[in-house]
Structure 1
Amino acid sequence: MVKVAITGSTGFVGTNLKSYLHDTYHIESLSVRYVPNQKFTIETDVLIHLAGKAHDLKKVSKPDDYYEANFELTKQLFDSFLSSDASVFIFMSTVKSVADKVNGILTEDIVPDPKTHYGIAKYKAEEYILRQKLPESKRVYILRPCMIHGPENKGNLNLLYKLVSKGVPWPLASYKNERSFLSIENLCFIVKTIIENKKIESGIYHIADDEFVSTNELIKIISSVTNKKNVSIAIPKFIIGSFAKVGDFIKFPLNSETLQKLTENYKVSNEKIKKAIGIEKLPNSAQKGLERTIKSFTK
Structure 2
Amino acid sequence: MKILITGISGFVGQNLVKYFSPKNNYTLLGLDIVFDNIEGVEKIYSWDNIGEIKDIDVVIHLAGKAHDLKNICDEKSYFDINYGLTKKIYNWYQHSSATQFFMMSSVKAVADTVNGELTEEVIPNPITAYGKSKIKAEDYLNSIVLPENKNLYIFRPAMIHGPGNKGNLNLLYNFVSKGIPWPLASFENKRSFVSVENLCFIFKSFIDNNISSGTYNIADEKWLSTNKLIQIISEGVGRKPRLWYFPKGFVNFLAKFGDVFRLPLNTERLNKLTENYIVSTKKLQLVLCASLPIEAEVGIKKTIDGFVIRSNKVDKKLKK
Q: TM-score category by the smaller chain?
A: over 0.9
Which of 281, 296, 300 is the matching residue for 1:286? 296
SS for the counterpart of 2:182 is: coil
Cα pair 2:32 2:47 within 8 Å, conserved: no
Q: In the aligned structure 2, how far is the partner of 1:298 from the partner of 1:146?
A: 23
Q: In the aligned structure 1, how far is the partner of 2:260 from the partner of 2:91?
A: 46
- In angstroms, what is the RMSD of aligned CA positions? 2.0
SS for the counterpart of 1:29 is: strand
Q: Deviations over 1:140-169 (max 9, x none)?
A: 100000100000114111222222222222
Determine the structure 2 residue equivalent to 1:137.
Answer: 149
* Structure 1 stretch displaced more, 94-103 or 22-31: 22-31
Q: In the aligned structure 2, how far is the partner of 1:249 from the partner of 1:19?
A: 50
Residue 249 of structure 1 deviates from its aligned partner by 7.1
265 and 161 in structure 1: CA distance in 2 versus 1, 3 angstrom threshold? same
Determine the structure 1 residue equivalent to 2:121.
Answer: 109
Matched, 1:191 2:203: yes
Which of 220, 228, 235 is the matching residue for 1:224? 235
Determine the structure 1 residue equivalent to 2:137.
Answer: 125
Q: In the aligned structure 1, how far is the partner of 2:204 from the partner of 2:57?
A: 13
Q: What is the TM-score normalised by the length of structure 2?
A: 0.86
Determine the structure 2 residue equivalent to 1:180.
Answer: 192
Q: In the aligned structure 1, how far is the partner of 2:255 from the partner of 2:47?
A: 39
Residue 211 of structure 1 deviates from its aligned partner by 0.4
Cα pair 2:194 2:218 within 8 Å, conserved: yes
State the AA in 1 paired with 2:302: R
Q: In the aligned structure 2, how far is the partner of 1:229 from the partner of 1:4?
A: 45
Residue 131 of structure 1 deviates from its aligned partner by 1.3
SS for the counterpart of 1:259 is: helix
Matched, 1:82 2:94: yes
Q: Deviations over 1:233-285 (max 9, x none)?
A: 11122332344455557785534443222211000011211211212x21111
Q: In the aligned structure 1, how far is the partner of 2:76 from the partner of 2:52?
A: 25
Matched, 1:211 2:216: no
Cα pair 1:45 1:86 within 8 Å, conserved: yes
State the AA in 2 paired with 1:293: T
Residue 57 of structure 1 deviates from its aligned partner by 1.0
State the AA in 2 paired with 1:127: D
SS for the counterpart of 2:194 is: strand
Q: Work out the percentage of aligned pairs sharing the same amino acid.
A: 50
Residue 96 of structure 1 deviates from its aligned partner by 0.5
Matches within 5 A, 1:1-299: 2-22=1-21, 23-24=23-24, 25-31=26-32, 40-43=51-54, 44-198=56-210, 200-245=211-256, 253-279=264-290, 281-299=291-309
Residue 224 of structure 1 deviates from its aligned partner by 2.0
Count of residue pairs brought into register by the alignment:
294
Residue 41 of structure 1 deviates from its aligned partner by 4.8
Q: What is the TM-score normalised by the length of structure 1?
A: 0.92
SS for the counterpart of 2:215 is: strand
SS for the counterpart of 2:3 is: strand
Give ranges in structure 1 of 5+ residues lacking alignment: none
Structure 1 residue ranges (4+ consecutive) displaced by more than 4 angstroms after TM superposition: 32-35, 38-42, 245-253
SS for the counterpart of 1:135 is: coil
